[in-house]
Copies of this chain bind each other. A is one copy, B any other.
Amino acid sequence: MSTVTEHPVRAEPTYTTLRELIVSGEYAPGRRITELELSERLAVSRTPVREALRVLAGDGLVRPEKRGVAVVALDEKAVHEAYWVRAGLEALTAELTALRQRQGELSPAALHRLRTQAERTDELTERGDLAEAVEQNRAFHRMIAELADNAIALGMLDRIWDQIVVSTRESLHGQRYGERTEQVGEEHRQLIEAIAEGEPDEAARLARAHVLTTLATNNADARQGVEGTR
């Protein structure tokens, strides 16, 4: 998906293409990137490539290394940090959205879209289409953030998501996710309910717990994975 609203810089074709290469996983984490290589691949000069790389560095998708840049590869600690930040920000957006609902600023249609999106995510997960399910799950969470009507928080969440997606493509998001299917669906429903009832504190609490539970589950996976190979 890699949805980014705001800054027109991010509409630049070179930036967009390169970003897609990274987010899609074609350029794997840790892969080193040279400007020349990219300028040849994208058939442009080094100038726009350089700019794209700088912006992507700001996005946290590539990081400068001794020689040029490399696709970011968050280690376990960094992934933890990302999840905690995501938890904090999603608690905030859920709270703000619930607050808007309480103040009658949310359309019934919006709530309906939320429920529909949650159902779609559920179905895909049950059907076993994990790749698409993860995508739609992200879309669900992003919907809530959009409804919070806070562009800064939304932008930060987009960045966090991208970083997590890139760094956890293969390691996580698989194994235990299936087992947690019903729990995820239930947590989503509870969250929607709290928003629909206009209960900011409860919504914040649920959103936060939901993210942290996901982190804990993935962790168990990772650990299990590591130990399993011993």
Nearest residue (CB) in B for A150 is B81
Counting CB contacts under 8 A, is A144 at the interface?
A: no
How many monomers of this protein are in the complex?
2
| Of A84-92, A108-116, A120-128, A177-185, the one with at least 4 CB within 8 A of chain B | A84-92
Contact yes or no, B91 A54, CB < 8 A: no
Interface residues of A, count at CB 8 A: 32
Taking A58-B7, A59-B58 as contacts, is the C-beta distance between A92 and B96 under 8 angstroms? no
Taking A9-B54, A59-B58, A88-B88 as contacts, is the C-beta distance between A151 and B47 under 8 angstroms? no
**Beyond A84-B96, A88-B91, A88-B153, 17 extra complex contacts between A and B, CB < 8 Å:** A7-B63, A9-B54, A9-B58, A51-B51, A55-B55, A55-B58, A78-B151, A81-B152, A81-B153, A84-B92, A85-B92, A85-B150, A85-B152, A87-B92, A88-B88, A88-B89, A89-B89
Counting CB contacts under 8 A, is A64 at the interface?
A: yes
Counting CB contacts under 8 A, is A82 at the interface?
A: yes
> Across chains A and B, which 5 residue pairs bring their CB atoms closest together, nearest first?
A58-B58, A88-B92, A8-B64, A81-B150, A81-B152
Counting CB contacts under 8 A, is A156 at the interface?
A: yes
Within 8 A of B (CB), among A215-229: none
| Set of chain B residues within 8 Å of A55, measured between Cβ atoms | 54-55, 57-58
* Central interface residue in A58, A59, A151, by most chain B CB within 10 Å: A58
Counting CB contacts under 8 A, is A160 at the interface?
A: yes
Counting CB contacts under 8 A, is A50 at the interface?
A: yes
Interface string of A72-84 (1 = CB under 8 A from B): 0000001001101
